[in-house]
Amino acid sequence: MLEANEITVRYGLRRAVAGVSLSLKPGEVTAIIGPNGAGKSTMLRALNGGLRPHSGNISLDGQPLGSYSRRAIARRVAVVAQEADLRFPVTVFEFVLGGRYAWSGTAAWGWETQRDFEIARQVLRETRLEELANRLMNELSGGERQRAVLARALATEAAVLLLDEPTANLDLAHQAAILALVRKRCDHQHTAALVITHDVNLAAEFADHVLLMKNGATVAFGGPHEVLTPELLKEVFAVSVLVDAHPISGVPRVTPIHEASV
């Protein structure tokens, strides 16, 4: 549904993304991993129409991305980014209703419909935030707040979810909870998801495909078993790793080998 074909994005002279192709399909979770500065976030912003590629093309449901209006893209592609700016007091419910913006009838003025309220309540249930609906966003814990950001993205009813380090700054339990929600959404509603993460093991557990990037280019693309190998990971991250099977799920488990520990 969202497809990038050999796209290159430049910041001035620097190529942040160089000829990367990617296809997001319904019901599948794709993870992008790579070191800082590999072009992961740039890739995500290009897929959302926030950055225009200098070459290559991006298509959404078979049409060029550039042919859609801002609102039309927002109804189809939702982004979960790092935390919002919360200098003004807004309740969790108001915050999540923000996800309904692109569906409002008129250009900017407009009030939420009954359906908008229903959808907001439903995603609050889905993210287990119902009881916090009337609390202020800046009173929430980091994990709760990140769930609210995810809830707002789900409220858009977009068929494509783009997540930029959704689990950064979260503890172990909350990291898994966020990705489990995304996984569930993909399995049940045929959503396509793209997750940028630094956590290789989370990628192995939740993703169908892994895109390994370095210096703006694709190093490898495939299932977790194909991509998360000691050779490829060493090439990208310049650190030796041990890869074995997760004792329960059997997915690849990556453990860095530091010189001090050998």
Per CB under 8 A, residues contacting other proteins are 48, 50, 70-71, 73-75, 78-79, 81, 84-91, 93-95, 97-99, 101-102, 104, 107-112, 117, 134-136, 152, 156
CB of 134 to other proteins, least distance (A): 4
Contact in structure between 127 and 150 (CB atoms under 8 Å): yes
List all residues 6 or more positions away from 214 whose beta carbon is below 8 Å from its beta carbon: 34, 35, 38, 235, 236
The span from the CA of 153 to the CA of 123, in Å, is: 9
Tell me the CB-side half-sphere exposure of residue 103, using CA atoms within 13 A: 21
Question: Which residues have C-beta within 8 Å of that of residue 71, sequence separation ≥ 6?
Answer: 101, 102
Token pair listed for 257 = 């080998």
160-164 and 77-80 strand pairing: parallel
In the bound state with other proteins, the residue whose beta carbon lies nearer, of 96 and 220, is 96
Q: Which is nearer to other proteins, 26 or 110 (CB)?
A: 110
Q: How far is the CB of 212 from other proteins (least distance, A)?
A: 25
Report in angstroms how near the CB of residue 5 gets to other proteins at its nearest: 22
- Comparing CB distances to other proteins, the nearer of 75 and 174 is 75
| Beta carbon of residue 158, minimum distance to other proteins (angstroms, whole number) | 10
Q: Which is nearer to other proteins, 47 or 213 (CB)?
A: 47
Length of the chain: 262
User: What contacts 225, CB < 8 A, 6 or more positions away?
Assistant: 251, 252
CB of 67 to other proteins, least distance (A): 16
Which CB, 11 or 117, lies closer to other proteins?
117
